[in-house]
Structure 1
Amino acid sequence: MIRINLSKVLGEERLTQARLARETEIRPNTISELYHELVDRVNLNHLDKICEVLGCDLSDILEYEPNEKSTD
């Protein structure tokens, strides 16, 4: 599973979703969907803008977490 850690990064930077939306010129609804991990697809240009504004690496925003294996 891919985790989106935008909420964690914004908290560490003390940056609001609204401010990130303004600085990246990404729609506030899109930022909110990323923040709450409600997306199935991510626009690479959006990730580029977010990393640029936050001064972070892509690995700070996205994280791979192995799926739990079922024991059925």
Structure 2
Amino acid sequence: MIENKLSEVMGKKRMKISDVVAQTGLTRNTVAELYHARAKRVDLNTLDKLCTALDCTPNDIIEHVKGED
């Protein structure tokens, strides 16, 4: 199972959805869907923009968890 940890990363950096939207140029809907773990897919360009804005790696945002479905 892939776990989305965007909300945790944003929380540690005390960033709101609007902050990430402003820094990345992504739509509010895209960031909100990822933040609330409702997104089914993540575009690599989106992931790149998030990593740049949050100063992190893709592994900080998404994680593969074995044994969970």
TM-score tier, shorter chain, comes to: over 0.9
Structure 1 unpaired stretches of 5+: none
Structure showing greater radius of gyration is 1
C-alpha distance in 1 between matches for 2:30 and 2:68:
28
Count of aligned pairs: 69
User: Which residue is equivalent to 1:64?
Assistant: 64
Q: TM-score, normalised by structure 1?
A: 0.89
SS of match in other structure, 2:42:
coil
Runs of at least 4 residues off by over 3 Å: none
Give 1:15 shift: 0.5
Structure 2 unpaired stretches of 5+: none
User: Which residue is equivalent to 1:22?
Assistant: 22
C-alpha distance in 1 between matches for 2:51 and 2:59:
10
Q: Are residues 67 and 39 of structure 1, via their aligned partners in 2, closer, same or farther at CA, if it must alter by over 3 Å?
A: farther
Aligned amino acid, residue 21 of structure 1: V
